[in-house]
Amino acid sequence: MTTKTASINMRVLPSVRDIIDAAASLKKVDRTVFIQQAALNEAHSILAEQRDFVLEAKAFEAFDTELRAEHQTLEGMKDLFNRRAPWE
């Protein structure tokens, strides 16, 4: 089964292209592969920052304690969730 590809076009200064080409050459890949790998690595990193986080042991204990604590009902939130939305 063939997977379709999508095109991404960009314009860069010749000096930027030259630097990218030099780095791609060192990695022994073409410009497209180099840019794709770099962009994908950065995208994964940014998405992980939004999803994953690391805490030291003491901070994790405090976080875990709060997660396990008895929940509190906030009357203001209860009221908010019981209201009809203005667009309904």
Tell me the CB-side half-sphere exposure of residue 77, using CA atoms within 13 A.
Answer: 4
Number of domains in the chain: 1
Identify the CA nearest to 18 among candidates 59, 80, 26: 26
CA distance 32 to 63: 43
Question: Does residue 6 sit within a domain?
Answer: no
pTM of the model: 0.57
Give pLDDT tens digits for 17-74. Answer: 999 999 999 999 999 999 999 999 999 999 988 887 889 999 999 999 999 999 888 8
Identify the CA nearest to 82 among candidates 45, 56, 74: 74
> 49 lies in which domain range?
14-82
What pLDDT score does 51 carry?
Answer: 85
What pLDDT score does 66 carry?
Answer: 93
Identify the CA nearest to 43 among candidates 69, 11, 18, 8: 8
Question: Does residue 2 sit within a domain?
Answer: no
Structure tokens at 85: 């939305």
Question: Does residue 59 sit within a domain?
Answer: yes
Question: Does residue 87 sit within a domain?
Answer: no
Question: Does residue 36 sit within a domain?
Answer: yes
